Structure 1
Amino acid sequence: MMKSTAKVVLEENGGIKEYFVHENESIYVPKTTKHRLVNPGKIPLELIEVQVGEYVEEDDIVRFNDVYGRC
């Protein structure tokens, strides 16, 4: 579930694809796909992230470029 609009940037097939996801829409990010979530607007972005699979802990996340200073 989401309020506002999100821009989802995915690295696909050696290139970059951008998708705009609106309220009541969803997007699937395949395992190991580099991705970034952006709020392109002024309204605060609220979303629910659902992880699926056998292992869904946070310690397997690799951050390549993090403007928020997380490890």
Structure 2
Amino acid sequence: LQMHHHRAEHWIIVRGTAFVTRGEESFMLSENESTYIPLGVTHRLENPGRIPLEIIEVQSGAYLGEDDIVRFEDTYGRG
């Protein structure tokens, strides 16, 4: 679970199924569906299925550096 101060993201599902958390809402997306993550909104992307999840992520904003990630929860132990 993370957010960004300077960028928004648009996720397009290319293959598989995605479980998306965006702010207070959670929902599923399938192939050829997409969602927009406004800047400052907490978000998470999960693959609930067996098929590998492939997405296109389009980032937009004043700054796109990786140090703009604010992590709230991280299963993988990243800082």
Normalising by structure 1, report the TM-score: 0.85
Which residue in the other structure is 2:28 paired with? 20
| Structure 1 residues without counterparts, runs of 5 or longer | none
Bigger radius of gyration:
1
Segments ≥4 residues shifted beyond 4 Å: none
Shift of 1:60: 0.7
Count of equivalent residues: 67
Of 6, 17, 22, the match for 1:5: 17
Identity %: 54
Q: Please give the root-mean-square deviation of Cα atoms over the aligned residues, in Å.
A: 1.1
Shift of 1:40: 0.9
Instruction: Say which structure, 1 or 2, has more relative contact order (CA 8 Å, 6+ apart).
Output: 2
Kindly indicate which of the two structures has a greater share of residues assigned to strand. 2
| Structure 2 residues without counterparts, runs of 5 or longer | 1-11
Shift of 1:50: 0.8
